[in-house]
A and B are shown apart, each in its own frame.
Chain A
Amino acid sequence: MKNEEKPQEKEVSDPARAAADAWAIAWTQMIEAGAKAIRSSSYLSRVKADDIAIAETPHDVVFEIDKVRLFHYRPLSEKKSGLPPIIICYGLFGRQTMIDLQSDRSLVQNLLNEGIDVYVVDWGNPTRADQYLGFDDYIDLYLGSCVEYVYEKNGKKPVNMFGICEGGTFAAALVALSPELFAGLALAITPIDFHGEPDKFWRGEGFLNHWTRNLSQEDVDLIVETYGMLPGAMTGAVFSSLTPINSMTKYNLGLAEMQGDEAAMLNFLRMEKWISDRPDHPGEAARQWLNELYRDNRLVKGTFEVSGQKVDLSAISCPVLNIFAMRDHIIPVSCSKALGKFVKPELYEEIGFPGGHVGVFVSKKAQGVVAGGLCEWLTSKHNKTNPGAQVQKKKTTRRKSKSKAANGKE
């Protein structure tokens, strides 16, 4: 660091010598860095694409509707938790494989090891043939049908719902619309208030919120009409720009730093495999996501509609666990925490994870804090209370009359 009190003469006494010394040091360290890079490069030359396996926990497809499939995971232990089954719903911007990236960093396996019955929604691979699918389809028809399927399998008893990111917004909306079907709602890194508290954003937080609100409704429409979809490559580029230097250095400095360490390299390559599998977001749903939610913030205003029904978040009557990441570049903390304003305090709990958006699932720390916290919450709320029973009788009729599960196939 510059020392302002230091006399200037000393710094420039022999600049040529100083530069030569610096060059020698830099050269030495460059060789050291080069050796590290060679070790990583050597590992990369040996590893094959097939060696990078993700989402390997055994499961069966138990329900399908259009391209959407519901996975039921096979038990991994003899343990039976006695808890209602949990349905996990990821968003449309990435794949659900994130929650089962590798055996020692798998939310799915953590739940299975606790004897919890796990279902996961797979949205499939939307193409331009799916460009007119909107939130009515994704929330009410697809997710609603998956929930009804599990609800029926569970002897028509309420189930647990766990929504992640955009999937969390879907889950919150569905639970608000049909509270009778749910024993509990857990959310992770989920936007609820899409404007959040910009004055409190830390540097790098809330770029997506700024960026989207800077676009006009016509801009969003233009993107959707031009492509039909919101291309995965485009959303991927926007996500990369949220951490600009990391995106620029991960394939050079980042890889070199790993020095060919197999465990670190495999973790990195599994993440890369997940990131590269970024689907296109169906156009109509993207239009609603960007215009109705990101720009107009309709969910917290109470004007967001699914299948003609207004979503009232205060109708959520089951216990809620809200998990957010304190260093989330994608979903600001204030956007997630806003759910607390709508749910009765005695039903609402939070976990603030000290990490980033994806770290909530893939970091080592998250296995204890997030997965452990979720298992503990599921168990303790089940032991403490069963609030869905009363509501269930009153409202099941409305849901039953819609009976959408009949549209799918087992």
Chain B
Amino acid sequence: MAKNENPFSEMMNIWQESQEAFFKAQAEVAKEFQKSLGQVTSESETKGTEHLEAWNDFIKSWAPAWDPSSFMSQNGFDASAWQNGNDALFAMLEPTNWTRYAPEELRKILSTIAQGPRFADLAMPQQDAANAWRESLDYSEAAADMSKVMQDAWTRAFKKYSENHTLEDLQAGNVKGALDAWLAAANAELLDTQKSPEFMDAQKRLLRASMEIKARQRDMAEAWSEAYQMPTRSEIDDLTKIVHELRREVRKLKREVAALKS
């Protein structure tokens, strides 16, 4: 309980401990990384280095800008994911291990794959997969940004409310009044936030990202429809457009005939 006497000092301790743990983890990771690659090959240290170089060459062939050390320098790196030989390679390929630590690096890789040349007689599912992955990354980021804008708005609303209201409002017995005041403060802040450039920008990016995801879903549904010889939405839309234009033509002709008759 003594620790709780000064919450700020306690917070500082936690922060310092976290920092130490982080640096320790970094050092362990570097060690484990080397060890694990060695276990994969079961060869000599030199051989391990060759494999590492080969692996880097392979990655660089897809993503020239890729820097394998970039995600290791990020906070919160999970050392345990690298402790066993085979698991280490799988861990490198596991999106959840990458996305959090090096989103921009991942985005570069995905763009490189997506923009690669297409071959006439070779299916290129990895390009579509890379695009889908990039879109989902965009959506996650846009949703997180939007969420932050709204969280900040609620924080500001509470700050403004607490500047003008105290526990005495409740002691006076007017809980409803205090609640109404809080709702009014929150409403005002949310309305102001909704007109702010930050909100507008975040919402636009979220809208675009969600439209891209929706369009991707549509592509997948169309691929499924084609595979099972079902009409696709594009085909039905085409037909709808043709019917719409034909109907217009017929009405126009009807008017002209009516005008001629009169």
Contact = CB atoms under 8 A, between A and B. Distances in A.
A1 B169 contact: yes
- B-side interface mostly: helix
Interface stretch (A46-54, A56-64, A401-409): A401-409
Interface stretch (A21-29, A94-102, A166-174): A21-29
B97 to A, nearest CB: 32
A97 B202 CA distance: 36
Nearest to B243: A129
Nearest to A6: B168
Interface string A7-25: 0000100000011011001
A129 B247 CA distance: 13
A219 B208 contact: yes
Given A18-B171, A245-B186, A226 B194 contact: no
A214 B191 contact: no
Interface in B206-253: 207-208, 211, 214-215, 218, 233, 236-237, 240-241, 244-245, 251
Interface in A242-269: 243-246, 249, 253
Contacts of B215: 226
A22 B171 contact: yes
Interface of A: 1-2, 11, 18-19, 21-22, 25-26, 29-30, 33, 128-129, 131-133, 141, 203-204, 207, 210-211, 214-215, 219, 222-223, 226-228, 241, 243-246, 249, 253, 400-404, 406-407
Contacts of B208: 219, 222
B251 A404 contact: yes
Interface of B: 163-171, 173, 175-176, 179, 183-184, 186-188, 190-192, 194-195, 200, 203-204, 207-208, 211, 214-215, 218, 233, 236-237, 240-241, 244-245, 251, 254-255, 258-259, 262
Contacts of B167: 11, 18-19, 22
Contact of A203 (B169, B171, B188, B218): B188
Nearest to B166: A2
A25 B175 contact: yes
A244 B187 contact: yes
Nearest to A30: B175
Nearest to B258: A403
A207 B195 contact: yes
B13 to A, nearest CB: 25
Given A21-B171, A131-B240, A211 B200 contact: yes
A402 B259 CA distance: 7
A121 B189 CA distance: 40
Nearest to A407: B251
B244 A400 contact: no
A131 B166 contact: no
A1 B244 contact: no
B211 A210 contact: no
Given A226-B214, A226-B218, A403-B255, A131 B237 contact: yes
B126 to A, nearest CB: 24
Contacts of A128: 236-237, 240
A131 B191 CA distance: 33
Contact of A207 (B179, B187, B194): B194
Given A11-B168, A223-B211, A406-B258, 10 more contacts: A1-B164, A2-B165, A25-B175, A26-B175, A203-B188, A214-B200, A226-B211, A226-B215, A253-B179, A401-B262
A11 B166 contact: yes
Contact of B170 (A11, A22, A204, A207): A22
A203 B240 contact: no
B193 to A, nearest CB: 9
B138 to A, nearest CB: 14
Given A222-B208, A403-B259, A245 B190 contact: yes
A132 B171 contact: no
A212 B89 CA distance: 47
B191 A204 contact: yes
Contacts of B188: 203
Contacts of A403: 255, 258-259, 262
Contacts of A22: 167, 170-171
A232 to B, nearest CB: 16
A25 B171 contact: yes
B192 A203 contact: yes
Contacts of B211: 222-223, 226
A407 to B, nearest CB: 5
Nearest to B244: A132
